[in-house]
Every structure is written in structure tokens, then in C-alpha cells.
Chains A and B, each alone.
Chain A
Amino acid sequence: MAIIVVDVMLKPEILDPQGQAVASALPRLGFTFAQSVRQGKRFEITVTGEPTAEQLAQVEEAAEKLLSNPVIETYLVRVEA
């Protein structure tokens, strides 16, 4: 069993009000380390056995067509060790 992870993030030029809200909440807890925060989504797709090249290609396609909206988001597919 392996997990294919797809990370989806808003493109840098797209306003991320959720990330901004998190960034402004951090100092209220005394955390002053953050210059900015961007919030994204993470998908964990479980497959049986080691992922094949074909499966990874299909996940790429799914990420492009469904998991992300390429107009506003970017994605990264990787296999979790």
C-alpha cells in the first residue's frame, strides 16, 4: 500500500484571505515568526502496492482536471514514502 499525495496551492498572484486570516491570528498567540501564510489543500490517495507510472500519470491528469483549478491553483504530485 502506498499513498500518492497531491498538494494544491493557490497561485502566488491570487489573493488568499484564509491564509491572511491565519497570519493575523498567529501573533495573537505570541507567534511572531510568520511573514505571511498561504493555505492550500492536500489529497492523500491510497493505492495497493507501489504506484505504477501509469497510475501516477492518471493522478496527474486527475489533478489537472478535478483536484485543482488551473486558472487559480497549482498542484504537485508525489509519492509518500
Chain B
Amino acid sequence: MRVGVVTFPGSLDDSSALRAIRLAGGSAVPLFHSSDDLQEVDAVVLPGGFSYGDYLRCGAISRFAPIMRSIIVAAEHGFPVLGICNGFQILCESHLLPGALTRNEGLHFICRDQAVIVENVKTLWTRGYNQGDRIVIPIKNGEGSYQANPETLRELESEGRIVLRYADGNPNGSQNNIAGISNKRGNVVGVMPHPEQAIETLTGPSSDGLIFFSSILQELVGR
């Protein structure tokens, strides 16, 4: 199963995401922002980092990259996409996910291991978890405060589309303690914490994040 990872100018966690896919047993395919060719991958990860230096707004410029044109069209037809941190910001700017990520309350860049609760295990990326699992994965961002209008929040809550919620207090002012959401269909997921940085205890706080990658691979094998 081929899972692609897009490198934008300023991406940081692309090689970590590629490694996570390999560790989960998949074939990791590097993709580049300037081509619209998805190279027949079965799913794609938009990694963390500071694409285009976060100029204008985080993810605002990346949204118009040639590769994003292909990803947006494919995602609307059920193609699996996971956005991590900057990737989540890009998905919001692309309107594949509702809402926006804004400057952290308190203005601090926060880099720490974070406990989160997995609330939606129906998405293509979280099927390997059990509902209510408490997992520890790192957060590292300056603009991770999830904001949406009350109507959108009600919709996300009532449709069970909150994928991850912060546990033990809200680190950044995100509404409803939201750390990750999905689209209606469950093929597009955006998360602020970094599952690709928690895939083995040698380099991360846990191996809890690996299940994001094994979930999608299992899903693809079963098709």
C-alpha cells in the first residue's frame, strides 16, 4: 500500500511521516508540492512544519500548490488525507475541514508531550483505536487554537466529528478542547498533535501515534 507525504517549501516533519508509514508496514512515497501528480498513492499525509514560512496565514499559500489541486479533488471523492499540525492548517485553509487555527492563547509556542482522548474511531485514520483511548503524543505549534463559529461547533459535536480532544486542560484556547477533527465522510482528518513523532519509545513519549498509520494501511488492505 502506497502512502504519500507532501513536501512543501518549509515542511519539517515530512521525513518523520515517511518513516512512520514505513514502520507501520506501508510503502512511503515522497510527493512534491510543485507537481500535481499523486503518483498513484492510496492515501496522503500533509506533514507538519512552516510551509511558505507561515507567510500571510499558516497554510494559506500552500493551499494553492499544484499538488493541493489534485488532493482537494481526490479528497472530495473519498481519498484518504491526514493533515498533521501545519497539514491541519492547510486542510482548513483549503476548506476540506471547517474552522481555522489561530494564535495560541498566551502567545507561547508550546512544545510538550500532550495527553489527548481519541473520540472518533470511525475515521479511516483512527479505526485502530478504541473509543475513549487516552494517548500521549507531542504538540509543537504556535498557532494551534482551533476556532469555528457556534453553528460549525454544534455540527462537529452532534455528528461525532471531533477526532481528538485535549485531556488534562486546554493548552492553547482551542474551542471545546478540540485537538483534531474529520470531514463528514471521515476520509479527511486534521490533528494538531504529531502522531508521527510518537511511533516508538526510543524517540517519542510513546508509540501511541503509530496507530494512525497502521489504521489507514489496514483500511487500504481491506479494500
Contacts and interface: CB of A to CB of B under 8 A. Distances in A.
A69 B57 contact: yes
A71 B103 contact: no
Interface string A45-59: 000000000000000
Q: How large is the interface on B (under 10, 10 to 19, 20 to 34, 35 or more residues)?
A: 20 to 34
B105 A17 contact: yes
B10 to A, nearest CB: 18
Interface residues of A, number: 12
B86 to A, nearest CB: 15
B57 A18 contact: no
Given A17-B105, A18-B103, A66 B60 contact: yes
Given A69-B93, A71-B92, A71-B148, A14 B102 contact: yes
A17 B148 contact: no
Nearest to A18: B103
Contacts of A67: 56
B45 to A, nearest CB: 23
Contacts of B107: 17-18, 21
A10 B104 CA distance: 14
B173 interface: yes
Interface in B128-156: 145, 147-149
Interface string A1-23: 00000000010001111100100
Given A17-B106, A17-B173, 18 more contacts: A10-B102, A14-B147, A15-B105, A15-B147, A15-B173, A17-B103, A17-B104, A17-B107, A18-B107, A21-B107, A67-B56, A69-B93, A71-B147, A71-B148, A71-B149, A72-B100, A72-B102, A72-B147
Interface of A: 10, 14-18, 21, 66-67, 69, 71-72
11 contacts: A10-B102, A14-B102, A15-B173, A17-B104, A17-B107, A18-B107, A66-B56, A69-B57, A69-B100, A71-B147, A72-B100
